[in-house]
Amino acid sequence: MGKTNLMTDKTKPFFMGIMAIFFISLLLCSGTGIPAYGNGTLIDLTIISEIESNNRDTAISFRGARYGRGRYQISEICLKDYNQETRSNIAPEELFCPVVGYQVAHWYITRRIPQILRNWGIPITEETILWGYNAGVGRVRDGIKPVETVNYINKYRRLREKKEGALQ
Instruction: Give the range with max mean pLDDT: 9-23, 74-88, 154-168.
Output: 74-88
- Assign residue 31 a region (left: φ > 0; alpha: ψ between -120 and 50; beta: otherwise): left
pLDDT 10s digits, 50-107: 999 999 999 998 765 567 899 999 999 999 999 999 999 999 999 999 999 999 999 9
Structural domains of the chain, with CATH: 36-167 (1.10.530.10)
Handedness of CA 88, 121, 38, 128 (dihedral sign): negative
pTM as predicted:
0.76
Distance between CA atoms of residues 69 and 106, nearest Å: 15
pLDDT 10s digits, 120-157: 999 999 999 999 999 999 999 999 999 999 999 999 99
The SS3 assignment for 42 reads strand
Answer whether residue 16 shows pLDDT above 50. Answer: yes
The SS3 assignment for 97 reads coil
The SS3 assignment for 59 reads coil
Distance between CA atoms of residues 148 and 104, nearest Å: 23
Residue 1 confidence (pLDDT): 55
